[in-house]
Chains A and B, each alone.
Chain A
Amino acid sequence: MIEIKNLSFGYSRKSLLFRNLNLTLQEGHIYGLLGKNGAGKSTLLKNMVGLVSPLEGSCQVNGLDSRKRLPAMLGDLYFIPEEIYMPSLTARQFVASTAPFYPFFDEEAFYRYLSEFEVPVHAVFSKMSFGQQKKAIIAFGLATNTSVLIMDEPTNGLDIPSKVQFRRIIASALTETRCIIISTHQVRDLDSLIDTLVVVVHDREIVLNESLDAIGERLTFTTIPESEAHSALYTEDALRGKQAILPNLMGNYSKVDMELLFNAITSGNTSVTEILQRPHYEQSL
């Protein structure tokens, strides 16, 4: 679906943002691309879409080189940037002018998503609030039925009820042939939505590309008394004791606390990533 091989990118060769990056994203998954501000999430997404060209290496979407921006590639990919441009058209006018470029566009689904998001059909996009515009373009992106849907900080500008709607609609739109990539720095917005975590850190490396199931099998997320904090891989103060990440020695599935895991990784704690990157058989020793 998306295959990045030995990708090096920078706005100048002297200061590279990514060096020899490798990443494979498969259909049937909702990926959460996490990273702090400035970690390079948007730049990575732009490489995937072909809005910037890698200095070395390649990025392929469904086998096509993304930098060429061929219609065959763009017709099966929809990108929603963090800041969007909406023309002075109503939803129906926008469908008439733009939907024909997407061969699998589902008009009925588009109006259904708009209704679920409570976006008025007859309003002119450019006159809507930013949050309404964002919901309208998310609805359109979902209705294109492209095999790849990439969203950069889609929950920015959405109110709390809209974020709940967003999670529900995205979860319902995932199919076995679709790959959805959502970048955010607000980890809680993706709670109970994504199935695979991709974490980019400040030195522009991908330190994690793992399914939540696999993470939950290797790590335990729990609250422990302060006296047991020394046995934890990572802890944070909580109201009662400490929120902690421990090695999952018993193999019982533990629900992943994404925010805690994200904080552990971005704080430079290597013991967590070491366990996750270790081959599976070592864990049982």
Chain B
Amino acid sequence: MNNHFNLSRFALLFRKHTVEHYKTYLMSLGVLLGAMFLIMGTASYMAVSPMQATEQSIFFLFFLMGAGMVFSSTVFAQLGDKKKAIAFLTLPASQFEKYLVGWLYSFPIYLLLFIPSFYLIVYILLIIDPRVGPEHEVMNILTSEPPMHILLTFYALFNALMLVGSAYFNKHHFIKTAFAGFLGILLLYNLNKQVVQAMLGRDLSSVSPFSAAYFMEGDKRFDVGAYEGNEALMLLLLVVLALVSWIVAYFKIKEKQV
């Protein structure tokens, strides 16, 4: 039997994971539905007009990222509990198969459950809102802004970073990963600024990584950047970052010691 990937063993592992976690996952889905209903319902009730497609897409982005990051941070959280970690690591399946089950649940399965759940809440809110007419617009995730491929790329990156955090930290996975993420952004921003200032030989107002440098000359503001037309490259960079983070998460699990 292959020691790295075996389909029937993977199916057994997927089944075992589902049997042991489905109650928690269903409860989490219930909490998400309730939170979306309450937050979007309150916002809709307080607004002067029924919820428009633009507002719906903002909520979609907020809940997709927020709930997804919280959920992803719990996928390998069991490795922080010594008792659960031993049961997980000594189960006769490859570490890749164990990783893949967590990844499947936190990425494709999460998206497959989140998207219909979001639409369900939107339709319920529109149905119970007496101000909504028959022609009221509902957002289309394939055509709304930001485009779906950008949303997915960002979700992939956040998911990958949260998986790394859930495998790396032993407790408070979400808080610690988010804190580490903010710290990393702050560090990257300042290091990038120092490097670009040294390259250009002058002080700059602001320099965002992979973006443009801004500086003032008298009353005039100048942008120095090569990002226009390079959106695809920027997106590719995010995809590569997500892939690297997924690989890092896998190796954190593979090398985990208890």
Q: Give the B-binding residues of A (Cβ under 8 A).
A: 46, 49-53, 69-72, 74-75, 77, 79, 81, 83-85, 87-89, 93, 96-98, 100-102
Q: Which of B92-100, B161-169, B191-199 binds A? A: B92-100
A85 touches B87 (CB 8 A): yes
The answer to whether the Cβ of B228 comes within 8 Å of any Cβ in the partner chain is: no
The answer to whether the Cβ of B70 comes within 8 Å of any Cβ in the partner chain is: no
For chain B, residues 62 to 97, give those with C-beta under 8 angstroms from any C-beta of chain A.
81-84, 86-87, 89-95
Residue of B nearest to A51 (CB): B258
B94 touches A70 (CB 8 A): yes
A247→B171 CA distance, assembly (Å):
54
A97→B1 CA distance, assembly (Å):
19
The answer to whether the Cβ of B252 comes within 8 Å of any Cβ in the partner chain is: no
A101 touches B86 (CB 8 A): no
User: Of the candidates A75, A77, A98, which one forms a contact with B16 in the assembled complex, judged by CB atoms under 8 Å apart?
Assistant: A98
A85 touches B86 (CB 8 A): yes
For A51, A83, A89, A96, which residue has the most chain B Cβ atoms within 10 angstroms?
A51
B16 touches A74 (CB 8 A): no
A52 touches B20 (CB 8 A): no
Q: What are 18 of the A-B contact pairs (CB < 8 Å)?
A: A46-B258, A50-B90, A51-B258, A52-B258, A69-B95, A70-B3, A71-B3, A71-B94, A72-B3, A75-B92, A83-B82, A85-B84, A89-B20, A97-B15, A97-B19, A97-B20, A101-B91, A101-B92
The answer to whether the Cβ of B257 comes within 8 Å of any Cβ in the partner chain is: yes
For A69, A74, A87, A100, which residue has the most chain B Cβ atoms within 10 angstroms?
A69
Return B184 CB to nearest CB of chain A, in Å: 26
Given contacts A74-B90, A93-B19, contact A85 B9 (CB under 8 A): no
B258 touches A85 (CB 8 A): no
A51→B254 CA distance, assembly (Å):
11
Residues on B with C-beta less than 8 A from A46 are: 258
A89→B15 CA distance, assembly (Å):
14
Residues on A with C-beta less than 8 A from B6 are: 71
Supply 17 further A-B pairs (C-beta < 8 A) apart from A49-B90, A101-B92.
Answer: A51-B257, A51-B258, A52-B257, A69-B89, A69-B95, A70-B94, A71-B92, A74-B91, A74-B92, A84-B83, A85-B83, A85-B86, A88-B23, A96-B19, A97-B15, A98-B16, A101-B93
The answer to whether the Cβ of B120 comes within 8 Å of any Cβ in the partner chain is: no
Residues on A with C-beta less than 8 A from B83 are: 81, 83-85
A88→B94 CA distance, assembly (Å):
24
Return A100 CB to nearest CB of chain B, in Å: 5
A187→B15 CA distance, assembly (Å):
41
Q: Give the A-binding residues of B (Cβ under 8 A).
A: 1, 3, 6, 9, 12, 15-16, 19-20, 23, 81-84, 86-87, 89-95, 255, 257-258
Return A21 CB to nearest CB of chain B, in Å: 18
A53→B20 CA distance, assembly (Å):
29
Residues on A with C-beta less than 8 A from B255 are: 53
A71 touches B84 (CB 8 A): no
B90 touches A51 (CB 8 A): yes
A101 touches B12 (CB 8 A): yes
State the 9 A-B residue pairs at the shortest beta-carbon distance, nearest first.
Answer: A75-B92, A85-B83, A74-B92, A97-B16, A70-B3, A101-B92, A51-B258, A52-B257, A71-B92
B86 touches A79 (CB 8 A): yes
For A71, A96, A97, which residue has the most chain B Cβ atoms within 10 angstroms?
A71
Residue of B nearest to A87 (CB): B20
Residues on A with C-beta less than 8 A from B20 are: 87-89, 97
Residues on A with C-beta less than 8 A from B82 are: 83
Residues on A with C-beta less than 8 A from B81 are: 85
Return A54 CB to nearest CB of chain B, in Å: 11
Given contacts A51-B90, A101-B93, contact A71 B1 (CB under 8 A): yes
Residue of A nearest to B90 (CB): A79
Return A104 CB to nearest CB of chain B, in Å: 12
Return A152 CB to nearest CB of chain B, in Å: 10
Residues on A with C-beta less than 8 A from B91 are: 74, 98, 101
Residue of B nearest to A11 (CB): B257
A100 touches B12 (CB 8 A): yes
Given contacts A70-B3, A71-B92, A74-B91, contact A51 B86 (CB under 8 A): yes
A75→B12 CA distance, assembly (Å):
14
A70→B3 CA distance, assembly (Å):
6
Residues on B with C-beta less than 8 A from A75 are: 92
B9 touches A71 (CB 8 A): yes
A46→B90 CA distance, assembly (Å):
10
Return A272 CB to nearest CB of chain B, in Å: 35
Residues on B with C-beta less than 8 A from A52 are: 257-258
A51→B89 CA distance, assembly (Å):
7
